[in-house]
Structure 1
C-alpha cells in the first residue's frame, strides 16, 4: 500500500485554497490541509465558510485534480471556547470531505479544557470529523503525555493526537511514549525536520516553526525512529514552511522537494 501525503497549508500559506490544490496536484500530493481559521489574531486564513465563490472554486479544482482535503485548521480551545460558533466550520469541512480538525489546546484550566474537548468531539463527529490535538511547547497542552491524558479524560472515540516532529522534539516527549500511544489515537501525522540545536525561547521557536523548517533528512530530528512507532497506514501531512527556500525555488519546486525528501526518509511503501 502506497503512503499518502498531504500538503499542509502552512507550507505555502500565501496560496489560497484553489491554488494550493493545484500546487499539490502538480507536485504529486494526494491531499491538502486548509487553514480556514487563523492561528493568531489577524493571521492568514481562508474562511471558506464566508466565501461561497472561493469554496466553489476549491471544490472545482479538487474535482479536476483528484486532490482531496484531509484536514481543516485551526481550532483553538481557549478559556472562552464555545462549540456553537463553529457550526459552519464543521459543515464546510464535511462539504470538502475533510477527515480531521487540527486543534490547539490553550486553556490552562484542565477540567474546562477536558469539557471543551469532549464537546468539540461530540459536535464534529456527525460531520465525519476527528478532533486532533497538536501539542506545542508554549501551550497548555505542551507534550505528548498531556495530550494523551486529555484524550483519555474526554473519552471520545474521534479524539486524537497530532504529532508534529518539531514540537515532539522540543517538548521533551520520548520515543517510548510514542511507541506506547494507542494506534486508535493517531489519525494522521505531520513531517518536517529542524536543526540539531533548537531554540530554547518561545519567540525563536515560533519563528523557526512558521518560516524556517527543513525538509526531512536535512536536519537532526530522528524521523525514521519516530515513524516506526506510528501506525504505518496513516496519511502524512507535509508541514515545512521555509520562506527562503519557497522564494528561491518557487512554490511547486519547494513542495515537490519536501515530498521527495519525505519519501526518501520514510520509504514510499508501507510494510
Structure 2
C-alpha cells in the first residue's frame, strides 16, 4: 500500500503543469552539483533526443547504452571512426551536454576482454569518462584478470571501469565488488555504488566507511521503499556466499521482483524511503548519475522531475 501511495505522489507531481518544464534559471543556481542522466532514464530514446531532453531539464551530463547487455537487448551502438559517431559528437557539442558514461556490459570469469575492445574504442572517441559493468564471478581470480585487461585497455583511452554490484549476480554486494577490484589492483577500476543495489543487497551507508575511498567510484541515485520485493533469507544467503547465482543466462529464481524493481520500479530521489542524504554523506564526492525510469511517463517529464528532485536532495547535504 505504501509503495502505491509513493507512486501516486510521484504521479501527482509529474502531472503538475508547474513542473512540466524546469526554469532555465534553476540550472544556473550557484553551488549546484552537476548531474548525469543515466541511460535507463529513457533508454528507448534515440541518443540525439536523449541529449536534447536531458539538457533542457538541466542535466549537464548524460549516459548512453552503446552495447546490449544481453544479445538482442536495446542499445544504441556506435563504431569508432564512422560518420555516425562524428555526427553525434558534433550534436553533443552543439547541444552543450557531455557524454559522461556508458553502461550495459555484463561479463563473467570466462569473458574474453578483446571482444569489448572495439566498443571501448568507440567510448574513447566519444570522450566517455566511465564505463560501468556488472557480472558473475564464479572464479574470482579469472574475473579479476578480465577487469585488469579492460582497465589497462581503458586507461590510455581516458576512462574508468566501474564494477556495479547487484544482489541477483555473484557480484552481488559492496563487499564482493570490493574484493574483486582489490584483486584487479588498477587505479582506474573502482566500484559503482547504486543506492538501490546497496540497500537491496542488505548493505547500508555505514558499510561505505569500511571501503577505502580510492575503490569507490560513481554514484547512481534513485529512491525506493525500505522493504524490497525479495526474501530476506535470499539476501542473507547471498551475503554469506552460500548461493550459486549464475544470472548471465536469465533472472535467478527468487530474484524476479527485485530485478523488475531495478528496471522499472525505481522512485524519484526524495519521494521514497531510502536514507539518500546519509548515503551521499558517506560517499566521497564522485560524479552522480540519476537512474530513474518511469514507464508510461512522457520522457521530457521524467528528465524534468528527476533533475529537480535530485537537486533538491543535494541541497540537504
* TM-score, normalised via structure 2 length: 0.79
Aligned residue number for residue 110 of structure 1: 140
**Aligned-pair CA distance for 1:135:** 0.2
| CA gap 1:175/1:187 in 2 versus in 1, 3 angstroms | closer
Q: 2:58 aligns with which of 22, 28, 35?
A: 28
- Structure 1 stretch 43-52 or stretch 12-21: which is displaced more? 43-52
Give a deviation string over 1:33-60, Cα, whole Å, max 9, x none.
1101112331111111289344233212
Secondary structure of 2:78 counterpart: coil
Quote the Cα distance in structure 1 between the aligned partners of 2:127 and 2:32. 21
- Between 194-203 and 125-134, the greater mean CA deviation after superposition: 194-203
The equivalent residue for 2:69 is: 39
Q: CA 1:60–1:2 in 2, change beyond 3 Å: closer, same or farther?
A: same
What corresponds to 1:241 in structure 2? 293
Matched, 1:267 2:315: yes
Alignment match, 1:100: 130
**Secondary structure class of the residue paired with 1:187:** strand
Q: Deviations over 1:123-168 (max 9, x none)?
A: 1111111110010001111000111111111111111100111111
Q: Quick one: distance in 2 between partners of 1:215 and 1:114?
A: 34
Give 1:75 shift.
Answer: 2.0
Higher-Rg structure is: 2
Q: CA-atom RMSD, angstroms?
A: 1.7
User: Quick check: 1:210–1:242 contact (8 Å CA) kept in 2?
Assistant: no
**What is aligned with 1:258?**
306
1:185 aligns with 2:196: no
Q: CA shift at 1:176, angstroms?
A: 2.2
- What SS does structure 2 have at the residue aligned with 1:11? helix
Question: What is the aligned residue count?
Answer: 264
Which consecutive segments of 4 or more residues in structure 1 shift more than 3 A? Answer: 50-54
- Which piece of structure 1 moves more, 138-147 or 46-55? 46-55
Measured in 2, the distance between the counterparts of 1:255 and 1:185 equals 30
Tell me the secondary structure at the aligned position of residue 58 of structure 1: helix
The answer to whether 1:210 aligns with 2:263 is yes
Larger displacement relative to structure 2 (251-260 or 51-60): 51-60
Deviates more, 1:26-35 or 1:52-61: 52-61
In the alignment, does 2:192 pair up with 1:139?
Answer: no
Unaligned runs of 5+ in 2: 1-30, 231-253
- Shifted more, 157-166 versus 68-77: the winner is 68-77
Q: Which residue of 1 aligns with 2:202?
A: 172
Tell me, which stretches of 5 or more residues in structure 1 are unaligned? none
| Matches of 1:75 and 1:13, distance apart in 2 | 15
Match of 2:96 among 66, 89, 108: 66
- Is the CA contact (8 Å cut-off) linking 1:209 and 1:241 kept in structure 2? no
Secondary structure in 1 matching 2:50: helix
- Tell me if the contact between 1:21 and 1:58 (Cα under 8 Å) persists in the aligned partners: no
- Provide, for residues 155-195 of structure 1, a one-character-per-residue CA deviation record: whole Å limited to 9, x for no partner: 11111100111111110122222123222223321100112
Partner of 2:281: 228
Among candidates 113, 117, 120, match of residue 90 of structure 1? 120
Q: Give the 3-state SS of the residue equivalent to 1:243 in structure 2.
A: coil
Cα distance in 1, alignment partners of residues 86 and 272 from structure 2:
39
